[in-house]
Amino acid sequence: MSETNGAIEANMSVNCRRMRDSDIEQIIAIQNESLLGKVADAELKDGFVQGEFTEADFKNFDRDVAVMVAEDEGKVAGYLCTSHLELHQGKELLKLIEKRAESIIFEGKPLSQYKLVMTGPICISKTQRGKGIFESIYNSFFETFGTNYEVAICFVDDANPRSLAAHINKLHMRVVDEFEFKERNYNLLARKI
């Protein structure tokens, strides 16, 4: 990693691309090392993911929009799932977000009136954090699929300040809503693509 004009550049050996079926085992291993409920309380400050997804779930994300992976020296270093809100039909949390998007004004109009893409979960392997992969994987998604969407949204648990800070400081996403769901507090973030 190097610093140029105040910007941090990612390790040049990292390649970001769309997921292949052969990546799923490594993706699930990265998910499991940061999964809420499997991570020691002392490690939660380093970030976590909440949803435990299966091979079929990852394939559904990829069919819907994409699962992007960062690959470093032939190994998956992180992943980003992306989807339409419609993929999550019947999931209470996403139904709540979809409903709230109707009344959230983002840059002059209701959030629901934009062509939205849901980003997340994103998870970077513990051994790969701090190398610029978070930004690289998102930027790769925006470059590859950004013309299909106007606004990227995601939700982050208040108990995950590392992820919240990364989305705000590295991706320039804005908190556009805060809400409670099943006794947990969440932030809804958005940014134009």
Domains in the chain, CATH or no CATH each: 2-192 (3.40.630.30)
CA 15/CA 102 separation, integer angstroms: 37
**pTM of the model as a whole:** 0.90
Return the structure tokens found at 17: 């691309």
Nearest to 171 by CA among 152, 185, 156: 152
Q: What pLDDT is attached to residue 78?
A: 98
Length of the chain: 193
CA 47/CA 88 separation, integer angstroms: 23
Angle, CA 67 vertex, CA 140 and CA 153 arms, to 5°: 75
Q: What pLDDT is attached to residue 26?
A: 98
CA 85/CA 95 separation, integer angstroms: 8
Bigger pLDDT: 90 vs 130 = 130
Return the structure tokens found at 176: 């556009």
pLDDT tens digits, residue range 81-99?
Answer: 999 988 877 789 989 999 9
Return the structure tokens found at 132: 């610029």
Residue matched to tokens 């106007």: 150
**Which whole number is the average pLDDT over 7-12?**
45
Query: What kind and span of H or E run contains 174?
Result: strand 174-181
Nearest to 66 by CA among 5, 143, 127, 133: 143
Q: What is the mean pLDDT of the chain?
A: 91
